[in-house]
Structure 1
């Protein structure tokens, strides 16, 4: 997978009913998750992140030097690290985007 510098990870709630009733400790983990993503954005690693409006999953598109580094970034997301969300990592390449020439 040489040359891959973009990755996407998908997050999904671990607990059924999470979206209907968020427990206080889950809310705290999700606040830390948001701060973690803001930090990645400030470092220039995060390209795009957000939840699907049908509330089935969220995604994070980001840059990393290797799959190992990408996995470490995903696994250090507090929502995943604290067991509130499951994460699924995929190599990614943005082929078309606004402003592209």
Structure 2
């Protein structure tokens, strides 16, 4: 299955962002349970973070990202990329 990366940058204040973090974590746990091999985290030196996951297609990846509570609640701007892994 192709791997996708959502690179995001926060666009709201921290209290607003933080109220959606528990829902984002639950969303990622659901992706893991569904076999998408999702991982998420944030940048130590910069506002924003990354979601790494597998999806069957670009369309499915876009649909997955649209369900992220951080996206649905306008907390982040993001770019979505397909990542071609060359070594594991």
SS in 1 for 2:61: helix
Q: Residues of 2 paired with 1:59 and 1:86: CA distance?
A: 11
Report the aligned-residue RMSD.
1.7
Structure 1: 4+ residue segments shifted above 4 A: none
Residues 37 and 46, structure 1, Cα contact 8 Å, conserved in 2: no
Unaligned runs of 5+ in 2: none
- How many residues align structurally? 88
**TM-score of the superposed pair, with normalisation by structure 2:** 0.85
**TM-score of the superposed pair, with normalisation by structure 1:** 0.75
Deviations 1:7-50 (A, max 9, x none): 110111113xx3xxx22x43221211111111111222034321
Greater Rg over alpha carbons, structure = 1
Unaligned runs of 5+ in 1: none
